Structure 1
Amino acid sequence: MRKIGVIGLGHVGSTVAYTLVTKGIADELVLIDNNDAKCTAEFYDYMDSLPRLDTSTKILKQNYSDLADADVIVTSFGDIKALAQGGDRFLEYEFNCKQAKEVGIKLHEVGFKGVLINISNPCDVITGLLRYYTGLNRRQVFGTGTFLDTARMQRAVGMALNQNPHNISGYVLGEHGESQFTAWSTVCVQGKPIEELAEEVGLNLGELDNAARGGGWLVFNGKKYTCYAIATCAVKLVQAVFSDSRLVCPASVYVDEFKCYVGYPAIITKSGAEMAMPLPLSAEEKEKLTASAKMIRTKTEEGKGRQR
């Protein structure tokens, strides 16, 4: 029995839930949202799809006690009004710090012991706050982090070189936000280091890094939200937990060196996420990662202080 909860049914959460239902990934799905009318609407929309699906999912709503025995919970709450201003994921900081406390305490009270995957922004900070308030261990709680940003980098490089993005390996590291960066020393195209390829064909890596960083805003500016790519990332992480696949991917994971959550390669297992082997980064890349993590740690501690 694969039981999953989705907390927050905005554009992202509802897309995650829809995917879990239509792909038959969830045997049981619990829906939670502050807007009861929205949650009820999504509930019946999913229920009405079940007679035409090849799989079946038991769907429950608006009861935290139903999450006590969930295997995985995906948090995707957010402040649509703040986000509508665009340009900065920290626009949701105040609202989501409060939400993290409320949700985390409720999950602690019902005795949730599974794996929690956070999407809510600013992703790394909110992931840290959710771990703090749930009392779960650092492996059990992780975020989507730079998993999506890495996909955006793969897309940008693939388009520049007329390559399938699956042929591009490597990582975007740091904050899921403005201080993120592509660790070009880790990036290869069909096994060839991109830094070598860039010299040969005249690639501007700075422009490609900006394309990855700005990919979310490119989508947001056109439709005022993003949903499909991030939902795809979250669902892939859910599947990795269920299959105990030991998938290595960049997620928002707790890094002891920095004492906070930050985008870094992680191994996804049935128990959650753990850091992968340390990357041989360049001195410049290490400096960027340290600076990004420092900002995340500061904002996470501020978030705790604001809720006391």
Structure 2
Amino acid sequence: MGTISYGKLVIIGAGNVGSAILNSVLRMNILDDIVVVNRNQKKALGEVLDASHTTAFAYSANANIRVGGYEECADAQIIVITAGPSITPGNSRDRMVLLEKNVDVMNNIMEQITRYTKDAIIIVVSNPLDILTYIAQKKFDYPANKIFGTGTLLDTARFNKMLGDLCGVDAKNVTGFVLGEHGSTSFIPWNTVNIVGVPFDEFEKQFELKEKLDKEKLLHDTKVIGLDIVELKGYTSSGVALSACRLIGSIVRNEKSVVPVSTVVSGQYGMNGVAMSLPCVISKNGIDRILEVPLDEEGKRDLEKCYHYLKSTIESVYTE
């Protein structure tokens, strides 16, 4: 379609998450043009004005921040979709409560985006994330390497933080992925979890832990902590914003980082017909490759369960 304006980001949705992404990405000093698209223009303008004043401070790049329409997608390098209702206190135990409403929202957004571009890299943040990512890619025939969701990247960060705290090390030294659905059927392939090469089964000995690490509790806590945050403060924003920024940074700086994101699978582990989180190499092209980490028998069973759940959910709302 058109030419890409490198360093241009379009954020669709100016709610708690969209505004948190706007503010977080400004701190990174890697973009020079940021457009916010929102149904409520006054809200978008308020967020943009507030954020724009931070560029006067020494630690902030002088990015051009403004409110715009979908036509701004035409030359965007990256588009982040945060629009649609989020889980709220009282209904926060399952992201699937948002399913039908947000499928409609996603369809409307993708119709608008694809009028202008199929070249931008799209990052989906709205929930239920895996379902929306799948429909957006398949229904609108968007290049599969250029559309993915934040997926279990935040779940992974939460897990690594918990495990790092238990072992008394920096979370950044923990290598452990949460994979699958960003939701109730996510799983941890324990055979791949390590700290600088020390496998999970040896953590108690190496780090002189007083208590045995409880796999089930760690996975459970990883799954519910985000929902707990919603009950406590009304929404989640900081963690998911930095997840989006992690991906934006990988794209803009062509990092080739390996991170778990929700992508439409094409034969990995013999699977098709779903989007789910697997470790992917992220560069200026979007997804360079999807990695198939070696799974033990338990991991294969968990993957299978997750796959069937996502497939049946997709089939309930979308037929090809």
Q: Which residue of 2 aligns with 1:23?
A: 28
Q: Which residue of 2 aligns with 1:206?
A: 216
1:280 to 291, 294, 303: 294
Q: Which residue of 2 aligns with 1:145?
A: 151
**Matches of 1:80 and 1:213, distance apart in 2:** 17
The reply on whether 1:68 has 2:74 as its aligned counterpart is yes
Whether the 8 Å contact between 2:99 and 2:127 is mirrored in structure 1 is: yes
Seen in structure 2, the aligned counterparts of structure 1 residues 81 and 170 have a Cα distance that, compared at 3 Å, is closer
Q: TM-score, normalised by structure 2?
A: 0.89
**Matches of 1:112 and 1:275, distance apart in 2:** 19
The reply on whether 1:265 has 2:270 as its aligned counterpart is no
**Matches of 1:279 and 1:55, distance apart in 2:** 38
Residue 239 of structure 1: how far off its partner (Å): 0.9
Whether the 8 Å contact between 2:88 and 2:235 is mirrored in structure 1 is: no
Amino acid in structure 2 at the alignment position of 1:269: S
Q: Which residue of 1 aligns with 2:65?
A: 59
**Matches of 1:58 and 1:167, distance apart in 2:** 36
1:114 to 120, 127, 132: 120
**Matches of 1:83 and 1:6, distance apart in 2:** 25
1:84-163 maps to which residues of 2 (within 5 A)? 85-163=91-169
What does the per-residue CA deviation read over 1:54-76, in whole Å, with 9 as the maximum and x for residues that have no partner? 42112232311111110000111
Residue 198 of structure 1: how far off its partner (Å): 4.8
Deviates most, 123-132 or 49-58: 49-58
Residue 135 of structure 1: how far off its partner (Å): 2.5
Q: Which residue of 2 aligns with 1:231?
A: 241
Residue 211 of structure 1: how far off its partner (Å): 1.5
1:47 to 38, 43, 52: 52
**Matches of 1:266 and 1:115, distance apart in 2:** 14
**Matches of 2:146 and 2:7, distance apart in 1:** 16
**Matches of 1:130 and 1:83, distance apart in 2:** 27
**Matches of 1:162 and 1:22, distance apart in 2:** 28
**Matches of 1:294 and 1:180, distance apart in 2:** 12
Q: Which residue of 1 aligns with 2:265?
A: 255
**Matches of 2:57 and 2:169, distance apart in 1:** 37
Whether the 8 Å contact between 2:150 and 2:262 is mirrored in structure 1 is: yes
The reply on whether 1:184 has 2:190 as its aligned counterpart is yes
Secondary structure of 2:176's match?
strand
Whether the 8 Å contact between 1:107 and 1:134 is mirrored in structure 2 is: no
Whether the 8 Å contact between 2:86 and 2:127 is mirrored in structure 1 is: no
Amino acid in structure 2 at the alignment position of 1:140: K
**Matches of 2:89 and 2:75, distance apart in 1:** 32
Secondary structure of 2:281's match?
strand
**Matches of 1:175 and 1:148, distance apart in 2:** 12
Residue 112 of structure 1: how far off its partner (Å): 4.0
Whether the 8 Å contact between 1:127 and 1:142 is mirrored in structure 2 is: yes
Whether the 8 Å contact between 2:9 and 2:31 is mirrored in structure 1 is: yes
Amino acid in structure 2 at the alignment position of 1:16: I
Whether the 8 Å contact between 1:248 and 1:276 is mirrored in structure 2 is: no
Q: Which residue of 1 aligns with 2:314?
A: 300
Amino acid in structure 2 at the alignment position of 1:277: L
Seen in structure 2, the aligned counterparts of structure 1 residues 148 and 139 have a Cα distance that, compared at 3 Å, is same
Seen in structure 2, the aligned counterparts of structure 1 residues 167 and 82 have a Cα distance that, compared at 3 Å, is closer
Whether the 8 Å contact between 2:137 and 2:264 is mirrored in structure 1 is: no
Residue 80 of structure 1: how far off its partner (Å): 4.0
Residue 48 of structure 1: how far off its partner (Å): 2.6
Percent identity between matched residues is 27
**Matches of 2:195 and 2:109, distance apart in 1:** 41
Residue 24 of structure 1: how far off its partner (Å): 2.3
Whether the 8 Å contact between 1:83 and 1:92 is mirrored in structure 2 is: no
Whether the 8 Å contact between 1:185 and 1:281 is mirrored in structure 2 is: yes
Secondary structure of 1:185's match?
helix
Q: TM-score, normalised by structure 1?
A: 0.93
Amino acid in structure 2 at the alignment position of 1:135: D
